[in-house]
Amino acid sequence: MSEPQTQYYHHGRFAVAGGVLPDAITAYRTYGDPSNPCIVFPTCYGAKLDSLSYMIGTDKTLDSTKYFIVTFALFSNGESSSPSNTKIPYNGPYFPEVSYADNIRAQHAVLTKVLGISKIFSVIGFSMGGQQSYHWAVMHPEMRDRFVVLCGSARTSDHNQCFLEGPKSALLASQDYHDGHYTSTPQRGIRAFARAYSAWAYGQTWFRNKQFLHDGRFPNLNAFLRERWEAGYLTNWDANDMLTLLNTWQKGDVSLVRHGGDLEKCLGDIIAPALIMPCKTDLYFPPEDSEIEVSLMKNSQAELVVIPSVHGHMAGGGSNAADDEFIKNTVRGFFERTVDA
């Protein structure tokens, strides 16, 4: 399947959590026939639009011959409005804070004003994408029938926030970050960020069994860290983008949109069927947190299905064929059971 072209919607002056963007831009792609039921699939941390193709195709979780799939780039991912691509005076470290709610408002505008969509079959997302799924359910219940969360949560836990402080602090304290006023890629800072981030992305069992060696791609752990993690961020990411997007993740809490931080009341309002799929070895979003959230969705046909994987958080991000197949079968079954929701 060939990748569609990225499209850009200009919102004009757009208020966000930390101020305003004079000409906010949302980057998106579409797959399939617009007359088919619409599925919204937003990016996660570290993802560009082209990296979402792991889940789209006739033999994958989201069948583009059956659904009209719209993928959205989060603000600060380098494709939608970000510190790296915004003009003075909101460039670089002056880019305002952006919330999940800001992103959903922008995505809603594209769907309704550009694509003419008033009803969504499902929202599905991995990690930060899953947190956006929760926000769609709360902010626009009139548009959606169901939602899927892969390795995500309704609220970023204190434990998750503490983890994020590690890679963030490594980048901020680096000698070449210069408080965001760098004129060349802050290699030391981004490399430190990547190494601090890497261990949490996988389950302990994955590392214990040296899974990074099994495909023969990496001869040792250091090669894995340098080629898989350092190179990925150095090649594809801007440091200020990384930090601004991480801030969106850290402050993620759907109950701030409604009920002033009362998560029990907020999740209790959700009526759409939900499929919540944590991974049993995820160190970011552990299954225990998902169990609590599902128990609070008393008015929703909420299902909890744990991904039985050693790949930790990466199980939901297209890291291996076995987990992809499990997710595909589970999500497709959920769609079939709730088709008339």
Is the predicted pLDDT of residue 212 greater than 90, yes or no? no
Question: Per the residue annotation, which of 11, 135, 311, 313 is the catalytic one?
Answer: 313
**Residue-level pLDDT at 135:** 98
Question: Per the residue annotation, which of 145, 238, 253, 282 is the catalytic one?
Answer: 282
Of the chain, the percentage scoring pLDDT greater than 90 comes to 91
To the query of whether residue 238 is one of the catalytic residues in this protein, the response is no
Higher pLDDT, 329 or 199: 329
To the query of whether residue 2 is one of the catalytic residues in this protein, the response is no
The predicted model gives 270-274 an average pLDDT of 96
**Residue-level pLDDT at 208:** 87
**Residue-level pLDDT at 339:** 72
The predicted model gives 159-167 an average pLDDT of 95
**In whole numbers, what is the pLDDT of the chain averaged over residues?**
95
**Residue-level pLDDT at 211:** 87
Is the predicted pLDDT of residue 117 greater than 90, yes or no? yes
**Residue-level pLDDT at 127:** 97
Per-residue pLDDT tens for 37-58?
999 999 999 999 999 999 999 9
- Nearest-CA neighbor of 248 among 16, 20, 29, 22? 16
pLDDT confidence band for 341 (50 / 70 / 90): low
Is the predicted pLDDT of residue 29 greater than 60, yes or no? yes
Whose tokens are 């999940």? That residue is 100
pLDDT confidence band for 340 (50 / 70 / 90): low
pLDDT confidence band for 1 (50 / 70 / 90): low
Question: Per the residue annotation, which of 64, 84, 127, 153 is the catalytic one?
Answer: 127
Q: Which of 99-103, 152-156, 336-340 has the lowest mean pLDDT?
A: 336-340
Per-residue pLDDT tens for 279-306?
999 999 999 999 999 999 999 989 999 9
Q: State the SS3 of the chain.
A: CCCCCCEEEEEEEEEECCEEEEEEEEEEEEECCCCCCEEEEECCCCCCHHHHHHHECCCCCECCCCCEEEEECCCCCCCCCCCCCCCCCCCHHHCCCCCHHHHHHHHHHHHHHHCCCCCECEEEEECHHHHHHHHHHHHCCCCECCEEEECCCCECCHHHHHHHHHHHHHHHCCCCCHHHCCCCCCHHHHHHHHHHHHHHHCCHHHHHCCHHHHCCCCCCHHHHHHHHHHHHHHHHCCHHHHHHHHHHHHCCEHHHCCCCCCHHHHHHCCCCCEEEECECCCCCCCHHHHHHHHHHCCCCCEEECCECCCCHHHHHHCCCHHHHHHHHHHHHHHHHHCCCC
**Residue-level pLDDT at 206:** 87
Structural domains of the chain in order of their starting residue, each with its CATH number: 7-157+253-337 (3.40.50.1820), 160-247 (1.10.1740.110)
To the query of whether residue 140 is one of the catalytic residues in this protein, the response is no
Is the predicted pLDDT of residue 143 greater than 60, yes or no? yes
pTM: 0.96
pLDDT confidence band for 213 (50 / 70 / 90): confident
pLDDT confidence band for 195 (50 / 70 / 90): very high
